[in-house]
Chain A
């Protein structure tokens, strides 16, 4: 589904992605973790070209992103993206946040789109909030609406960029539950997160990235029990027991 081959990315002189090689198969859930500034957000943002890559090859859903003929809007319609800051449209209700793209891009009628939106809101447990504006929702609720908005395009891949990092602790669970449910439905997912519980329990593979390079990649059991790289050992120590 997603294949990185020797991908490089620069912000000016800063080498944010350094020779990234990664393959995510259909139905796989891959968690990416790493210290801040390691390039993990940039990595996930290249997949739907919020950040274009400078070198290497990136193939998403059979489309080669280095090919200038690729229709980027079409690609993005197939890839759902969930942001740390939710980025709901504040002037629209939850329902309209969800129906906008299906109506404009998929050519759905207003009724079809609304029925689908209500079904999605039910799935994320927010059916009764369909007429609420984002400002009337808690952070966790906003993020769940944002997930529903991304799902409304029936994407083949879902990307999550630190979906729980801006949330109060008691709201993290409700968002992770939705993500877990989604993972179990067979969605191909790539998740940047510090939620190691989620990585351990839900993911098929965990990647550790630092200085723009994937330093370690393993199944969760192996990843947490037997970290090989020195940087990862340090990182896990800090993330798993932050008091020390």
Chain B
């Protein structure tokens, strides 16, 4: 059977921006938006949770560990449903679906990121902390100026893994009706009916390009930060 990519060209604008500007932003643009915002938020969320997880206060440490373990033990889809159904029930008001998804992705990814942060910090030799506190630096200064700059660099490859997963996980937003790329694709497929191969091949390529571009970018970043690691 021959492939007919006319269905892609005919719907190209819809694939890329959804009904915008006559309706909400959708398609590739929305996927991009979800991914970027969730990435940024979960970077900070992961740092925050990770730092709590190595706190010298035992209560804080255990509490954050518990949150991390619980989130890691749940499917992402369930976290999205939770946010979607529970948030309005608890807070008494609804939230736009795309924000629900951002929140769920951030929450979920932060839990994983926190483990990367924790391992990254613990992977810096103890001598670095000892040297810093020996000059009179406080633990906070030591963390900010000595440990984190080294640890963050080591974390980059793991962060990238996590962010690539996150980009792909945005596709789960379609389950709560957010019109990101996968959702748009199913709509077009439902309308045209006879081009599923073309449509899903196309979005596969788009996701791939997204992830590949991101990986390349981070590799470049990593090289630019290539101060020598070894003492």
Contacts and interface: CB of A to CB of B under 8 A. Distances in A.
Contacts of B227: 90-91, 133, 135
A85 B127 CA distance: 8
A74 interface: yes
Contacts of B145: 100, 104
A137 B130 CA distance: 21
Interface stretch (B108-116, B132-140, B178-186): B132-140
B189 interface: no
Interface string A3-30: 0000000000000000000000000000
A135 B137 contact: no
Given A133-B227, A135-B230, A142-B231, A74 B136 contact: yes
Nearest to B127: A87
B121 to A, nearest CB: 14
A150 interface: yes
Interface string B116-156: 00000000010110111111111001000110011001000
A83 B231 contact: no
A73 B134 CA distance: 8
Contacts of A77: 135-136
A76 interface: yes
Nearest to A45: B130
B229 interface: yes
- What is the interface of chain B mostly: helix, strand, loop, or mixed? helix
B135 A150 contact: yes
A76 B134 contact: yes
Interface in A131-190: 133-136, 142, 146, 149-150, 152-153
A133 B227 CA distance: 8
B140 to A, nearest CB: 10
A78 B136 CA distance: 8
Interface in A94-143: 100-101, 104-105, 133-136, 142
Given A100-B145, A135-B228, A135-B230, A150 B128 contact: no
B228 A89 contact: no
A87 B136 contact: no
Contacts of B150: 89-91
Contacts of A87: 125, 127-128, 130-131, 231
A232 interface: no
Contacts of A101: 132, 135-137
B223 to A, nearest CB: 15
A134 B135 CA distance: 18
Contact of A83 (B131, B146, B228): B131
A207 interface: no
A208 interface: no
Nearest to B138: A73
A76 B136 contact: yes
Contact of A86 (B134, B135, B153, B231): B231
A243 interface: no
Contact of B136 (A50, A73, A133, A136): A73
A91 B145 CA distance: 10
Contacts of A149: 131, 135
Nearest to B144: A104
A50 B229 contact: no
19 contacts: A73-B136, A76-B134, A76-B135, A87-B125, A89-B150, A90-B150, A90-B227, A90-B231, A91-B153, A91-B227, A104-B137, A104-B145, A105-B135, A134-B228, A136-B228, A149-B131, A149-B135, A150-B135, A153-B135
9 A-B pairs closest in CB distance = A77-B136, A135-B228, A87-B131, A101-B135, A81-B134, A87-B127, A76-B136, A105-B136, A91-B149
Given A80-B134, A100-B135, 5 more contacts: A81-B135, A86-B231, A87-B125, A105-B137, A149-B131
